Structure formats: C-alpha cells, structure tokens
Amino acid sequence: MQHITASAPGKCILFGEHAVVYGHPAVAVAIDQRIKVKIEIATSSTHNWKLDGLVFDPKKHPHIEALKRRLWPSSLNAPPLSISIDGKIPAASGLGSSAALSVAASAALRAARGRWLNGSVNSPENWAEGFSSKISDTDVHSDNQPNDSLRSGDLGQKKRFIAGSNAVDIDECALLAHAVEAIAQGGRASPMDSSTCSHGHIVVLSDRIEDGIEWQYSRKLITPEGEREWQIHTVKPPENDVFLVIGNTGIHAPTSKQVEKVASMLKNNPERMKEIETIGLISRRGIKSLLNGDYESVGRAMSENQLMLQSIGVSSPELESLIQAAAPSSLGAKLTGAGGGGCMVALTRNPKKTSEAIELAGGRTIISSFGASGLMIEEDTDTPLWINT
C-alpha cells in the first residue's frame, strides 16, 4: 500500500525561557523522543479522513486541519487520507509534541503531494508552489483560500514535478508548523518549537542576529498584541558524551499563566527587568560554552539560569525537589519551559544515575542524547499519493 512516514523530534529549552519574551536569546535542544506521522489514502467508501482508525475530528486536531487546508485541499479533489500518529513525547508538557506533530505531518503531506517547479532546478525561487522564508508571494497564515501554496503569475507555471523526500523542504515545514501552531493557539506562538522540531540539533531564538552562530531566517507573526519578529539561528552540537535527563513533575501549568505572572511582576517592579537581562547574559554565555564544547560551563550556566528563574517566581517546590535530586550527578539542572510545574532538565554524563535520582524524588524521566536530528522522512513508497494537476 502506498504510504509515507515522517518523524520530527521534541525539544527542551536549555536557556532563556521567559527572557525570550522580552527579546533576549533562548536556546532549545532537540531530543531523541519523536512523533511519527504515517499517511496513506483512506480506503473507506465514505469521504471521511481517518485519524488512528477513527473519523478525523478537526476540532480535536486543529494543527492537522490547518495543514490539510494548505497542502491537501478537498476543494481540489485531493483524496481523503488516513493518518496514524505514533509518539513518545508526552503531550502538554513543554516538550514540543504539537510542533513535532505539525512538522512531521507537513513533511508527510508535501512528500505525498509532491511539488511543481517552474524550471529544472529545485530551489524556492523556482517553486511553482510552496512556502519558504525566501519567497513572499504565498501566504502561509491565510486560512481562507483553497490552495494557498500555489504561487501567483508566471511563478505558478507548472513545468517539472518532484515528489517524495525530494519535494520536502525543512524551512517550509518549519514555516507551516509555526503558522498552524499560531492558529491553534489563538494567534500567539513563538517559532522556537516549530524551528527546533524541524532543524533538530540546537536552535537559538533572539530578537537580533547573534554573533558567532549561524543565522537561518527571520520569522514574523501578527499576534493579537501586534507584529513580532524573531531571528532564528542553528548550532550543531560539538562531539559530546553528555545526555539530557528530563524530569516531569506531572503538574500541568499553562504557559500563558506563567508568562502573565512574569509580566505583572515586571509591571509592578520595573527595576526587576535586571533579572530578565541577567537571564539574557547567562544565555549568551551558555551559547559560547556550547560552541566551545565546554559542557561543564554549559551546566553551570543552566544552574545559574535556574536561580534567576526561581527569583522571578516561575519555579515550584516540585521542580526544585527534582532539580536538587539531579544536582549531585549532573553538570547542571533547571526547569525547562514555562515552569510552575511541567518539566526540569539536567545535563549529565551519568544519565542512569541522574534519572534514578529524579525518579526517587517523584519525577517521571526521559533520557535523551544532546541535540537529536531534525525532521526525517522514514518511509516513502511510491509517491505521490495525489497530483494537483
């Protein structure tokens, strides 16, 4: 049976959460745990899409619905699909599960649909359809048109067709995933998760182009609070023998509430912006240590970052207890993500010992290597599944 399987990693934040909201750099690392998305043509006689064997409910899966509109519109007679999702990233725990799903699904859909080019060379400038940070005449954010991915005018000429993994573009998947995350989250989403789950390894987000690391692209989003712009950089982790151990408190603490808490603390005490600036300085130092492969210093910067997160009020007794348990066997440990609950992360050369210590303190753990690979096409049999003729 014709099918395509794509996978994308989850992520955790190594430095800079909360400070990134105020323009400072934040660093995310891709983890080994991935979401896999398999698509094939639905076999049922009804014209229903299927998800894990059940009729697809767009309300339950807004990310998939938004991708379907962009890449697989029924208005163009694209046949209904059957999707299977398999994943090892716990949902709603700040580990990027929804972005990983969106990235993997956008890659699978693009591989299945293929791409028309207006010339022989496969580069964004020559695409007759698609989204890219290098082209501006398609609108990834518009949810209204039947086929937003088709470019206008002469560029919409279809000359050469490519399919399968040849048609997949990491930047396009990151862009699509960011747009659909924003739709699913009421117009607010930083590109941190979508970019890290697409590119893998290490991603640095900032409001300016940072020195000494590879700048990839700018991302803009019109949020309910106005336009925001981020600069995305990637860093390949130097050879290392370090691991991440993520400890989950199991406590659900919505990101929006934690961000609001910090905002009101700063409104009442503007002088405390110093603490946010200090997190920015720690992040920059952490990035330098990462580039030097000096993981002892990376760990120290993580622990210093934790002290500041504690000071701005986003840690919790449960997080503190897991962090303390991890400390003796790790290079550094801190909460990861919005805090208030959710997860902590430790950098360690002894993942078994660190994981056992965190589990003894009541956390559920995940062990990962440092900076896993990004988006991958795992299986591609006989693509395309449909051609937009």
Which residues sit at the interface with ligand PMV, rule CB under 6 A?
A: 13, 17-18, 20-21, 94, 190, 255, 258-259, 337-338
Q: What is the closest distance, in whole angstroms, from the C-beta atom of residue 174 to ligand PMV in the complex?
A: 16
Nearer to ligand PMV, 7 or 258 (CB): 258
Q: What is the closest distance, in whole angstroms, from the C-beta atom of residue 188 to ligand PMV in the complex?
A: 7
DSSP-based three-state secondary structure for 225: coil
Nearer to ligand PMV, 150 or 314 (CB): 314
Q: What is the closest distance, in whole angstroms, from the C-beta atom of residue 73 to ligand PMV in the complex?
A: 30
10 Å CB burial of residue 182 (0-12, 13-18, 19+) is: buried
DSSP-based three-state secondary structure for 267: helix
Nearer to ligand PMV, 130 or 280 (CB): 280
Looking at the chain, which runs of residues are DSSP E strands? Answer: 3-15, 26-41, 50-51, 54-55, 81-87, 115-117, 160-162, 202-206, 214-223, 226-235, 243-248, 332-336, 343-348, 364-369, 376-381
Cα(127)–Cα(61) distance, rounded to whole angstroms?
A: 29
Q: What is the closest distance, in whole angstroms, from the C-beta atom of residue 26 to ligand PMV in the complex?
A: 6
What 8-state DSSP symbol labels residue 209?
P
Asked whether the beta carbons of 345 and 321 are under 8 A apart, the reply is no
For residue 348, what are the CA distances in angstroms to 246, 333, 351, 352? 11, 9, 6, 9
How many Cα atoms occupy the beta-carbon half-sphere of 206 within 13 Å? 22
Cα(339)–Cα(116) distance, rounded to whole angstroms?
A: 44
Nearer to ligand PMV, 94 or 332 (CB): 94
Q: Which residue has the tokens 């993942």?
A: 351
Which amino acid does the sequence have at 6? A
Nearer to ligand PMV, 6 or 335 (CB): 335
Nearer to ligand PMV, 282 or 338 (CB): 338
Q: What is the closest distance, in whole angstroms, from the C-beta atom of residue 164 to ligand PMV in the complex?
A: 32
Q: What is the closest distance, in whole angstroms, from the C-beta atom of residue 8 to ligand PMV in the complex?
A: 15
Q: What is the closest distance, in whole angstroms, from the C-beta atom of residue 154 to ligand PMV in the complex?
A: 39
Cα(166)–Cα(260) distance, rounded to whole angstroms?
A: 43
DSSP-based three-state secondary structure for 155: helix
Count of other CB atoms within 10 angstroms of residue 277: 14
Q: What is the closest distance, in whole angstroms, from the C-beta atom of residue 44 to ligand PMV in the complex?
A: 36
Q: What is the closest distance, in whole angstroms, from the C-beta atom of residue 334 to ligand PMV in the complex?
A: 13
Q: Which helix (H) or strand (E) holds 253?
A: none
Nearer to ligand PMV, 258 or 303 (CB): 258
10 Å CB burial of residue 249 (0-12, 13-18, 19+) is: buried
Provide Rg for the chain, Cα atoms. 21
Q: What is the closest distance, in whole angstroms, from the C-beta atom of residue 184 to ligand PMV in the complex?
A: 13
Nearer to ligand PMV, 280 or 384 (CB): 280
| Residue number closest to ligand PMV, CB atom | 337
10 Å CB burial of residue 137 (0-12, 13-18, 19+) is: exposed
Nearer to ligand PMV, 111 or 344 (CB): 344
For residues 109-130, one letter each, b for 16 or more C-beta atoms within 10 angstroms of the residue's C-beta and e for the rest, the string is bbbbbbbbbbeeeeeeeebbbb
Nearer to ligand PMV, 82 or 206 (CB): 206
